[in-house]
Amino acid sequence: MADTLGDAPSESTLLRHFRTLDIPTGTREVFGRFEADYPNELWVGDGLHGPRIGGRKTYLFAFLDDHSRLIVTGRWAFAEDSVRLSAALRPALQSRGIPGTVYVDNGSAFADESLARTCARLGIRLTHSKPYRPQGRGKIERFFNTVTSQFLTEITPTGANKTDDITPAGTGSTPSLSGTTVSSIDELNALFMSWVEVVYHQSIHSTTGQTPIDRWTAGWTHRQPDRRHPDVIVEAFRWSATRTVTKSATVSLQSNTYQVDPLLVGQRIELTYDPFDLTGPIAVQAVGVPAGEAVLSEIRRHVHHKAARAAADADTGAVNVTSGIDYLRMVETRHKDTITAAPIHYHHAIDNTEPAADTAPAVGQATTTDELATKEENR
């Protein structure tokens, strides 16, 4: 209205009329110009379809901090399922802290009960967007557009000879066959991590006027991230299942049979287990009270069927053959140089200004650069 007529009612006026006419306006928390007030108040997660690597389709799971636009985690995988989602989310919770809310869509991986259990165990509020209504997801969608235009256009999968092998889903452009040749999922993840840290996190965001890393850091000036013990996070990512104990004091899980305490016969119990090792310890709870462990008595399956494909996705990497300007390799080299740089020697950081004549050094304090350097070397 403003563009075509030169004027328009204010947003508050329109919303007031909508409410009067009983016209739904949606959830205000995720509409319009909403932005979290501080880091880790809200993480927004989503998935992106990527190129084919070795003839197999790839998928990116990413979570973005709504306040800073920092990418708390991003990981490429060969499948869009709950196992790969957990593999992406778990390191973020360990390194970035626990968010207050996680906002995701209704894809099968995000709607899986394993994510709900993880969030419940860690006290995270899990919110799903309404089907076909992506309001509040603009920031992560914008990031995916950046990934497509700046990162995926530099990727050339080995053996790519068809347009659909190198064109990201949802785009109409075809990347050229020059740039960085990628032949494994490990290479793709390594390059992506370097690009996020060196390029995306260091670029000024047009909306915030700050780089994501600077805005993230500034947000912790008077706050501390919610850290949890690693064992607590590991337990939160275990899977659970509810079973009724048979008269012979056994339960079945993934075609395996387990023996439990005979006192639990006829009761509903919860089994907590590692989906990648069904022969390992399985904790038993009855009415929320620990009731020992389930002992394996008959095994037919060592790995949960949902985790079997992920367990078989071991990638040994490959040698690269590049052509043209290898932009992403340069970014990766810069990233490695940054995180492996030699530490600055103590005497390089010393103010060489001579002390005032009436200023005496503190007890045990060195008075010259050489003495300071010597003390540091001795330390």
Amino acid at 194: S
State how far Cα 213 lies from the chain centre: 15
Question: Which residues lie below 8 Å from residue 319, measured CB to CB, with a gap of 6+?
Answer: 183
Q: Is residue 309 part of a domain?
A: no
Whether residue 244 sits in one domain with residue 359: no
| 227 and 81 in a common domain | yes
Within 10 A of 192 (CB to CB), how many other CB atoms are there?
Answer: 25
What is the C-alpha R_g of the chain?
27
The number of C-alpha atoms within 13 Å of 372 and in the hemisphere containing its C-beta is 13
Domain membership of residue 312 (yes or no) is no
CA 208 – CA 83 distance, rounded (Å)? 34
The answer to whether residue 139 is domain-embedded is yes
Give 250-280 as a DSSP string: EEEETTEEEE--GGGTT-EEEEEEBTTBTTS
For the stretch 31-56, pLDDT in tens is 446 789 999 999 999 999 999 988 88
127 and 40 assigned to the same domain: yes
- DSSP state, residue 74: E
pLDDT on residue 182: 86
Specify if 314 maps to a domain: no
Number of domains in the chain: 3
pLDDT at 361: 43
Sign of CA dihedral 12, 18, 21, 27: negative
**What's the pLDDT at 255?**
92
Helix (H) or strand (E) holding 83: helix 82-96
Give yes or no: residues 336 and 360 share one domain.
no
Residue 223 forms part of a structural domain: yes
Specify whether 21 is located in the same domain as 150: yes
Could you list the residue range(s) of the whole structural domain that residue 41 is in? 1-236+319-341
pLDDT at 331: 65
Query: 363 and 291 in one domain?
Result: no
pLDDT per residue as tens, the chain (379 positions): 777 788 888 888 888 888 778 787 664 444 446 789 999 999 999 999 999 988 889 999 999 999 999 999 999 999 999 999 999 999 999 999 999 999 999 889 999 989 999 999 999 999 998 776 666 678 999 999 999 999 998 888 765 544 444 444 444 444 444 567 888 898 999 999 999 999 999 999 988 899 999 999 999 998 999 999 999 998 999 999 999 999 999 999 999 999 999 999 999 999 999 888 899 889 999 988 999 999 999 999 998 888 877 766 654 333 333 334 555 666 667 666 666 555 544 444 444 444 444 444 444 444 444 554 555 555 5
Residue 155: the pLDDT is: 84
Q: What's the confidence (pLDDT) of residue 103?
A: 95
Q: Are residues 57 and 109 in the same domain?
A: yes
Instruction: Assess whether 372 and 295 both reside in one domain.
Output: no
**36/160 same-domain check:** yes
Whether 280 is covered by a domain: the verdict is: yes
Residue 253 shares a structural domain with residue 356: no
Is 308 domain-assigned? no
**298: three-class secondary structure by DSSP:** strand
pLDDT for 228: 93
**Residue 97: left (phi > 0), alpha (psi -120 to 50), or beta?**
left
**Domain check: are 191 and 148 in the same one?**
yes
Tell me, yes or no, whether 83 and 115 share the same domain. yes
What residues pair up with 227 in beta bridges, in sequence order? none
Residue 262: inside a domain: yes
Per DSSP, the residues of 11-28 read: HHHHHHHHHHTT-----G
